[in-house]
Structure 1
Amino acid sequence: MITEIRMTVPVARVLAALVADPTGDHYGMELMQSSGLPSGTLYPILARLTEAGWLEKRWEEIDPSAVGRPARAYYRLTPAALPVARRRLAELHEQTRTAPAHTVAKEATA
């Protein structure tokens, strides 16, 4: 079960990056690049989304000393969260759309 989250612009950016490839596993650096968010903003959002049931988190199974880097945490939208994320992003897009130019021009002359 997922709980409701506050849809901020940074949250929307993270969700949009995840919805773009809903079956893929995404790690922090990739999500920072696709969302344009710094790590200090991204990781608290990922933690909040995971706690709310929107994301599944799993750790990469590697030997860090053999690979020469730490194991990555991978994130993926849960099946229950995917349609909700798509709907919430569509609602946000609809709310932030600008009026067509001809409508604005008519209102200005009225």
Structure 2
Amino acid sequence: MGLRMTSSVLKVVAALLADPTAQRYGLQLMEATGLPSGTLYPILVRLEAAGWVRSEWEDIDPVAEGRPSRRYYRLTAEGETDARREVAAMHQQLSRGTGSTQPGLTT
């Protein structure tokens, strides 16, 4: 895999998994994850290098649209599969941690 699954990476992956076929641009992902651009974009670069995400620039006339072109990000088929596996593994680790009894406590 090659990706370190930090909480920030998991937030981005979860946002993309919310609708795996949708293309999202950076501002949408920042709003969905609560991450600043300086955190989000390096994660997207790493996800793309790992083959989990594909990006492409939208084909518009910025003058006619009155805004710059957006770069859209979308999970690849491999990325969706790997992302679901990683999210499931994280849920399993978290449920193990919360499901255990703490020593010294009696009920």
Deviations 1:8-43 (A, max 9, x none): 000000000001100000100100011111111000
**Number of positions where the alignment pairs a residue of Structure 1 with one of Structure 2:** 106
What is aligned with 1:99?
Answer: 98
- Under a length normalisation based on structure 2, what TM-score does the superposition of the two structures give? 0.90
Given that residues 52 and 82 in structure 2 are in contact (C-alpha distance below 8 angstroms), is that contact kept between their aligned partners in structure 1?
no
Q: Aligned-pair RMSD on alpha carbons?
A: 1.9
- Residue 14 of structure 1 pairs with residue 12 of structure 2: yes
User: Structure 1 stretches of 5 or more lacking a match?
Assistant: none
Counterpart pick for 2:35 among 34, 37, 40: 37
Identity of aligned residues (%): 51
What is aligned with 2:105?
Answer: 108
Given that residues 10 and 87 in structure 2 are in contact (C-alpha distance below 8 angstroms), is that contact kept between their aligned partners in structure 1?
yes
The 5 Å alignment of 1:1-110 reads 3-97=1-95, 98-100=97-99, 104=101, 108-109=105-106
Instruction: Report the Cα offset of residue 107 of structure 1.
Output: 5.7
Query: Structure 1 runs of 4+ off > 3 angstroms?
Result: 103-107
- Under a length normalisation based on structure 1, what TM-score does the superposition of the two structures give? 0.87
CA distance in 1, matches of 2:61, 2:74: 22
Instruction: Report the Cα offset of residue 88 of structure 1.
Output: 0.2
